[in-house]
């Protein structure tokens, strides 16, 4: 029951976030929706009992790439069409609306479910008697990355390098043409 609910909520968050990325005209909002979509993918990894991949998804993509994109967008100064009220004072955009609070609530719920699923898997009761042999998925993944899947590992490093270069290009100052 819990696994089904976690899967359905993760899948819904992933699909809704991806659709919002495509349909959003605002770049900052699209980046935030990408963040929610990647958190949903992390939840899907947890439902597949791939805890290491879920943690890697959160650290590398959510913690690295998306935050780097957000910093690049913020460093460019945002949009230039600032609205002004009748007194000539620039209007401040509201901090959130019902849509953003609902999305944040769903993301927080999914993160709580992911963390509780990981804790439940870690604290499962082991039958009394001899302990089963320790099998680390990290060791298996590391062995596969340096043998069978070295090309995919190198391609992912080039992807991260491309995200870093793209963020640097977006954030660099523009030359003013005379």
- Domains detected in the chain: 2-78+97-121+136-171 (1.20.120.1200)
CA 157 to chain centre: 17
pLDDT tens figures, 8-48: 889 999 999 999 888 888 777 888 888 889 899 998 988 88
Q: What is the pLDDT of residues 139-153, one digit of tens each?
A: 787 888 888 888 888
Contact 41, 7 (CB under 8 A): no
How far, in Å, CA of 144 to CA of 169, rounded? 34
Burial class (CB in 10 A: 0-12, 13-18, 19+), 157: exposed
What is the 3 state secondary structure string of 117-141?
Answer: HHHHHHCCCCCCCCCCCCCCHHHHH
The pair of three-digit structure tokens given for residue 38, joined into one six-digit string: 């990647």
Kindly report the pTM of this predicted structure: 0.53
């Amino acid at each position: 029951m819990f696994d089904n609910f976690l899967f359905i909520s993760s899948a819904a968050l992933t699909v809704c976030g991806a659709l919002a990325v495509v349909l959003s005209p605002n770049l900052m909002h699209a980046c935030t929706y990408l963040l929610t979509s990647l958190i949903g993918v992390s939840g899907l990894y947890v439902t597949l009992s791939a805890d290491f991949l879920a943690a890697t998804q959160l650290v590398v993509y959510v913690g690295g790439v998306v935050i780097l994109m957000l910093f690049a967008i913020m460093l460019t100064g945002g949009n230039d069409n600032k609205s002004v009220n009748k007194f000539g004072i620039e209007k401040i955009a509201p901090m959130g609306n019902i849509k953003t609070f609902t999305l944040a609530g769903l993301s927080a719920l999914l993160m709580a479910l992911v963390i509780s699923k990981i804790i439940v898997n870690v604290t499962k009761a082991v039958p009394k008697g001899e302990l089963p042999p320790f099998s680390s998925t990290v060791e298996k993944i590391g062995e596969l990355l340096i043998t069978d899947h070295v090309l995919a590992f190198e391609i992912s490093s080039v992807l991260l390098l491309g995200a870093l270069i793209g963020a640097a290009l977006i954030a660099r100052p523009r030359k003013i043409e005379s």
